[in-house]
Amino acid sequence: MPKYNDIAAFHEKLAASKRILAVCGAGLSAASGLPTFRGAGGLWRNHKATALATPEAFARDPGLVWLFYAYRRHMALSVKPNPGHYALAALARKNKDFLCLSQNVDNLHPRAGHPPSQLHLLHGSLFNIKCFNKTCGWIQHGNYDDPFCPALAAAAQDAGVELLLDPKKELAKIPESELPRCPRCKTGLRRPGVVWFSESLDGAMLDEIDKWIDDQKEKVVDMVLVIGTSAVVYPAAGYAEAARSEGTSVVTINLDAELPRNLEDLKKGDFAFAGDAAVLLPKLLRPNHSCGIRPHKICI
- DSSP, residue by residue, 219-281: S---EEEEESS-TTSTTHHHHHHHH--TTPEEEEEETTTTSHHHHTT--TT-EEEES-HHHHH
Q: Taking 60 as the threshold, does the pLDDT of residue 295 lie above it?
A: no
Q: Taking 90 as the threshold, does the pLDDT of residue 165 lie above it?
A: no
CA distances from 88 to 1, 91, 157, 277, 285 (A): 27, 5, 31, 11, 8
Quote the pLDDT of residue 45: 81
**pLDDT band, residue 217 (cuts 50/70/90):** low
For the segment 227-246, the average pLDDT, to the nearest whole number, is: 84
**pLDDT band, residue 115 (cuts 50/70/90):** very high
Q: Greater confidence, 37 or 203? A: 203
Quote the pLDDT of residue 9: 95
Query: For the whole model, what pTM was predicted?
Result: 0.90
Quote the pLDDT of residue 160: 63
Q: Greater confidence, 119 or 170? A: 119
Q: Residues annotated as binding site for Zn(2+)?
A: 131, 136, 182, 185
CB neighbour class for 17 (10 Å; exposed up to 12, middle 13-18, buried from 19) = buried
Alpha carbons 249 and 272: distance in angstroms, whole number: 10
| Marked catalytic residue, from 11, 47, 123, 289 | 123
Quote the pLDDT of residue 38: 62
Which tens digit of pLDDT belongs to each residue from 26-54?
999 999 999 877 654 567 888 888 889 99
Told to judge if 114 belongs to the known catalytic residues of this protein, a careful annotator would answer: no
Q: Taking 70 as the threshold, does the pLDDT of residue 205 lie above it?
A: yes
Alpha carbons 99 and 168: distance in angstroms, whole number: 45
Q: Taking 80 as the threshold, does the pLDDT of residue 297 lie above it?
A: no
- State the chain's mean pLDDT as an integer: 89
Q: Taking 80 as the threshold, does the pLDDT of residue 243 lie above it?
A: yes
**pLDDT band, residue 1 (cuts 50/70/90):** low
